[in-house]
Chain A
Amino acid sequence: MATIGHSNINAKLVLLGDMGAGKSSLVLRFVKGQFLEFQESTIGAAFFSQTLAVNDATVKFEIWDTAGQERYHSLAPMYYRGAAAAIIVYDMTNAGSFARAKKWVQELQKQGNPNMVMALAGNKVDLEEKRSVSAEEARSYAEENGLFFMETSAKTATNVNDIFYEIAKRLPRAQPPQNPAGMVLVDRPTEAARASTCCS
């Protein structure tokens, strides 16, 4: 089954962002394909895993869905330590949640792994009539900060699988222990190269 250049990757992924932005809903949609209005509240973070196949790799995401009021933010380092990827979620109907998403980005840039793949998710795009953060503003912020950006809806499933898929594509591939003589290694997608150097 294993083909040349095919790798199995375990990737720790953390979701950060305002309470109510839709982190748990995004995870539930991605992992179970469901959307529920009321979920039991999480203390600290909940763990999920989900495997995704991309062209050249099978990525097993180990997902930490963080939760909790301000004082719980002191636990965040435990969840993002060693993470290969992060999704910072805001609610696009709530400008305050976008401002707080930026704070999380900064905290990760200062403290996280410099090769961490970071995604910015403007969630609840199904509530277009209530929009208060424009896509242009968020996109240009994301570009300036080396994140990739998507607007999502956990409710309608818009872009939910896509955002995880994009992350999977951008994760750094493990270097083979030795470059077998004469073999040409498959070029990495250009975004992947960019993502791995963007935040230094």
Chain B
Amino acid sequence: MYGTHQSGRNIPFDYQSQVISYRPSIHSRRANLTVKFQDLYGFTVEGNVDDVNVLNEVREKVRQQGRVWWALEASKGANWYLETHVSSTLKASLRFSAIANAVTLKRLIRKGIPPVWRPKVWFTLSGAAKKKSTVPESYYSDLIKATEGKVTAATKQIDHDLPRTFPGHPWLDTPQGHASLRRVLVVYSFRDSYVGYCQGLNYVAALLLLVMKTEEDAFWMLAVLLENVLVNDCYTNNLTGCHVEQRVFKDLLAKKCPKISAHLEDLEFDVSLVATEWFLCLFSKSLPSETTLRVWDILFYEGAKVLFHVALAVFKMNEDQLLLTQQVGDVINILQRTTHHLFDPDELLEVAFDKIGSMTTNTISKGRKKLEPEVMAELDERLRRLNSLKEEEN
């Protein structure tokens, strides 16, 4: 129905052409009205004139970063960023340049990968390229053929969610967009039948499609994300991994923002009420698109700890206001208003790294290991309770 399934299917959505066409009219400037406009990745954003100005500044910074990346390629050679892994077999001089490159690269990535570079850089640095290279060339197209026409619980849920995934987006919310997203999700559900399809992945895969440009690359990014980058079992039965991350996050909040943590506890506000969605959708439903992708730049290079940094930052940057809240609704409003208006990624990432301070991947892993038994016990207890209900009935 959608033509042949060649693997290099291109996504006819070009962010380069999505220039903000909005010019604040005299009226909106005067009244500071809320205006609607399209951002870098085609999402409709509502904001005021200040937001538009911030977005234009961000666009300019993105252009500058682009020039930096081109200059580096010119001086260090194409693919220089791949030569950052220090292996013992490297000669000393090479090893030095690898370390230097790694330091440069980490700094550079924290400043943002320009959108034109994202597909290539993500694909190699995340390990997706390596993953893909271990299977035959035709893996993705074979799976598409093999799964065509199959109906499973996963495919039904996917079909239900397609029109509800970023509705109104100029490419995602078209028959073509739905078909691409569907194939990526369906094929993945067959690749890992243990995950199958989990709601939330629709948003993640949709954004991957917009960045990666080809469906097959988006598929491999999804695979590396679920299989290597994120905590295990984040999206499987009972969302076990997600529960573990939430517990780790609460511990970190108590450590890094003790006042906020204590105040919210007094309000009986469980921070997971808002943070669960952040971790399951990797902020794609909460932050503006370029800000989300800046988080993902770091996610694919440094790992899942960036999610904790960013989640903590959202609380930290609102510390004063949060400490004054008396009601759950106010807490939620503050957090939502903040995330929706974080058009300047650097504003967020500066807090996330400079103010929150360093956390190692090792700290996070230790936290997970420590808290996992508790989480499992609680989940089991709930299931036992539900099962005992069933028996009573019989």
Contact A43 B277 (CB under 8 A): yes
List of A residues within 8 angstroms of B235 by Cβ: 71
The yes or no answer to B239 lying at the interface (CB within 8 A) is yes
Q: Which of B276, B277, B389 contacts A106 (CB 8 A)?
A: B389
Q: How far is the CB of A27 from chain B (nearest CB, A)?
A: 14
Contact A71 B238 (CB under 8 A): yes
The yes or no answer to A41 lying at the interface (CB within 8 A) is yes
Q: Which of A10, A74, A81 contacts B238 (CB 8 A)?
A: A74
Smallest CB gap from B243: residue in A = A74
Contact B272 A41 (CB under 8 A): no
The yes or no answer to A40 lying at the interface (CB within 8 A) is yes
Contact A43 B164 (CB under 8 A): no
Contact A12 B237 (CB under 8 A): no
Q: How far is the CB of A12 from chain B (nearest CB, A)?
A: 7
List of B residues within 8 angstroms of A33 by Cβ: none
The yes or no answer to A107 lying at the interface (CB within 8 A) is yes
Contact B164 A41 (CB under 8 A): yes
Q: How far is the CB of A63 from chain B (nearest CB, A)?
A: 10
The yes or no answer to B147 lying at the interface (CB within 8 A) is no
Contact pattern, B 2-45, Cβ under 8 Å of A = 1, otherwise 0: 00000000000000000000000000000000000000000000
Asked, given contacts A69-B157, A71-B239, whether A79 binds B273 with beta carbons under 8 Å apart, the answer is: yes
Contact A38 B167 (CB under 8 A): yes
A41 to B281, CA, bound (A): 12
Contact B276 A74 (CB under 8 A): no
For chain B residues 268-303, which have a beta carbon within 8 Å of chain A?
268, 270, 272-273, 276-277, 280-281, 285
Contact B237 A111 (CB under 8 A): no
The yes or no answer to B104 lying at the interface (CB within 8 A) is no
Contact B382 A77 (CB under 8 A): yes
> How many residues belonging to A are interface residues under a CB distance threshold of 8 Å?
30
Q: Which of A40, A72, A75, A82 contacts B268 (CB 8 A)?
A: A82
List of A residues within 8 angstroms of B268 by Cβ: 82
Asked, given contacts A74-B382, A81-B270, whether A10 binds B239 with beta carbons under 8 Å apart, the answer is: no
Contact B327 A10 (CB under 8 A): yes
Contact pattern, A 74-113, Cβ under 8 Å of B = 1, otherwise 0: 1101110110000000000000000000010011001100
Smallest CB gap from B388: residue in A = A110
Q: Which of B161, B163, B239 contacts A75 (CB 8 A)?
A: B239
Contact A39 B164 (CB under 8 A): yes
List of A residues within 8 angstroms of B270 by Cβ: 78, 81
A49 to B327, CA, bound (A): 11
A110 to B235, CA, bound (A): 27
Smallest CB gap from A76: residue in B = B382
Asked, given contacts A41-B164, A43-B200, A110-B385, whether A74 binds B379 with beta carbons under 8 Å apart, the answer is: yes
The yes or no answer to B226 lying at the interface (CB within 8 A) is no
List of B residues within 8 angstroms of A40 by Cβ: 164-167
The yes or no answer to B329 lying at the interface (CB within 8 A) is yes
The yes or no answer to A47 lying at the interface (CB within 8 A) is yes
Smallest CB gap from A106: residue in B = B389
Contact A47 B198 (CB under 8 A): no
B166, B202, B236, B280 — most chain A CB neighbours (10 Å): B280
Smallest CB gap from A41: residue in B = B164
For chain A residues 147-180, which have a beta carbon within 8 Å of chain B?
none
The yes or no answer to A114 lying at the interface (CB within 8 A) is no
Q: Which of A38, A47, A111 contacts B163 (CB 8 A)?
A: A38
The yes or no answer to A62 lying at the interface (CB within 8 A) is yes
List of A residues within 8 angstroms of B379 by Cβ: 74
For chain B residues 237-280, which have a beta carbon within 8 Å of chain A?
237-239, 243, 268, 270, 272-273, 276-277, 280
The yes or no answer to B332 lying at the interface (CB within 8 A) is yes
A78 to B168, CA, bound (A): 31
A107 to B379, CA, bound (A): 14
**B residues apposed to A, CB below 8 Å:** 157, 161, 163-167, 198-200, 202-203, 235-239, 243, 268, 270, 272-273, 276-277, 280-281, 285, 327-329, 332, 379, 382, 385-386, 389
A-B contact pairs, 5 of them (CB 8 A): A41-B165, A44-B277, A62-B328, A64-B273, A110-B389
8 other A-B residue contacts (CB within 8 Å) besides A43-B200, A44-B280, A106-B389: A43-B285, A71-B198, A71-B239, A72-B199, A82-B268, A103-B389, A107-B385, A111-B382
Q: Lowest 6 A-B CB distances belong to which pairs?
A: A41-B164, A74-B238, A49-B329, A43-B277, A106-B389, A44-B276
